Amino acid sequence: MVVALILVLVAVGSVAFHLLSPWWWTPIASNWSYIDHTIIITFWITGVVFVAIILFMAYCVFRYRYRKDRRAEYEPENKKMEWWLTGLTSVGVAAMLAPGLFVWNQFVSVPEDAAKIEVVGEQWQWSFRYPGKDGVLGTTDPRNITPENPFGLNPNDPKGQDDVLVQGPEARLPLDKPVKVLLRAKDVLHDFYVPQFRAKMDLVPGMITYFWITPTRTGTFDVLCAELCGLGHHVMRGKVVVEPESEFQAWLQEQPTFAQSLARAGTGTPDINLASSEGGSEPLERLLK
């Protein structure tokens, strides 16, 4: 009786804690309410299964408790119960997977009119790059990275000359505008995560990952690295400021372009470049000759 009662209290207490807990999501600030809905569906399915199993255990402990006048019966299999368990499990798994597949398709289907921002992660800081007036990001290559060119842009690519560089922990996004977030790591795995956006993605060295969002309310939101990336992982933080389009454009105009950064560094455009991200190693071969 005591064990059965404890199991019932565990089930009731778990449901009560979930419903009354003050630890809940931060208010959403993007278009990804689909992700919240998917998680809630998963909670309900797994919660119902958890409560059902706990209560079934309590029933079995009570119903089949030891009695002197009763003997245990051996029943190696029960076809009817096996079919029911297989069917219910299949329905439950499908109900959890289907919403996730739908949301993932939405997550990677970027609107054609989405603006772009590149997020660059390195131990243990964030930096950001925006396309210039041409609306196109210039090509990059890790071999181009120098103190004067920390983003590794190809100096010979005219499309990258007007790219806007933000070497700091704060990025800005326009309100109610879809944005494709391109992610690149310079050293190890990182993960760009803004809890209010409900969107996150790993930064993988050697490849470009991405997701897209539409910020839906103004404010300043914390950027976290959600992938253990070394001793300073806990201090790899930043900010994303969401503001009206006019304020965003005014701020963007104040940021230096790649060409201006090279001019300030006194380097200008070098005569020899290692290679662009689209290939082409002829300048390097000339240097080696």
List phi, psi (to 5°) of 257.
-90, 170
Q: Same domain, yes or no, for 30 and 141?
A: no
The H-or-E segment that residue 180 falls in is strand 179-185
Asked if residue 224 belongs to a domain, the reply is yes
Mean pLDDT of 194-211: 90
CATH code of the domain containing 121: 2.60.40.420
**Which pLDDT score is estimated for 9?**
87
**Nearest CA to 119 among 106, 108, 130?**
130
Q: Same domain, yes or no, for 207 and 262?
A: yes
Beta bridge partners of 201: 192
Q: How confident is the model at residue 268 (pLDDT cuts 50, 70, 90)?
A: low
Q: Same domain, yes or no, for 139 and 247?
A: yes
Asked if residue 276 belongs to a domain, the reply is no
**Which pLDDT score is estimated for 25?**
81
Q: Same domain, yes or no, for 131 and 265?
A: yes
List phi, psi (to 5°) of 78.
-140, 100
**Which pLDDT score is estimated for 126?**
93
Q: Same domain, yes or no, for 121 and 254?
A: yes
- The residue segments making up the domain with residue 52 are 2-64+81-108
Asked if residue 281 belongs to a domain, the reply is no
Q: Got the DSSP string for 59-78?
A: HHHHHT---TT---------
Q: How confident is the model at residue 287 (pLDDT cuts 50, 70, 90)?
A: very low
Q: Same domain, yes or no, for 38 and 163?
A: no
- CA 138-139-140 angle, to 5 degrees, is 120
**Which pLDDT score is estimated for 22?**
76
Q: Same domain, yes or no, for 99 and 121?
A: no
Mean pLDDT of 186-197: 92
Q: Which SS3 state, helix, strand or coil, does residue 171 take?
A: strand
At a CB cut-off of 8 Å and minimum separation 6, what does 46 contact? Answer: 96
How far is 197 from 202, CA to CA, in rounded Å? 15
For the chain, give the percent of residues with pLDDT over 90: 27
For the chain, give the percent of residues with pLDDT over 70: 91
- Report residue 218 as tokens: 């103004």
List phi, psi (to 5°) of 136.
-125, 135
Q: Same domain, yes or no, for 199 and 128?
A: yes
The H-or-E segment that residue 17 falls in is helix 2-20
**Nearest CA to 167 among 267, 257, 244, 232?**
257
How far is 193 from 219, CA to CA, in rounded Å? 16
Q: From the centroid of its chain, how far is CA 124?
A: 18
Chain segment 5-33, per-residue pLDDT in tens: 888 888 888 888 888 877 778 889 999 88
pLDDT of residue 54 exceeding 90, the answer is no
How far is 173 from 52, CA to CA, in rounded Å? 46
- Residues 197, 273: contact at Cβ < 8 Å? no
Chain segment 98-135, per-residue pLDDT in tens: 888 888 888 888 898 889 999 999 988 999 999 988 88
Q: Same domain, yes or no, for 137 and 208?
A: yes
Q: Same domain, yes or no, for 232 and 256?
A: yes
Q: Same domain, yes or no, for 155 and 239?
A: yes
pTM above 0.75, yes or no: no
Q: How confident is the model at residue 265 (pLDDT cuts 50, 70, 90)?
A: low
Asked if residue 148 belongs to a domain, the reply is yes
Domain count, the chain: 2
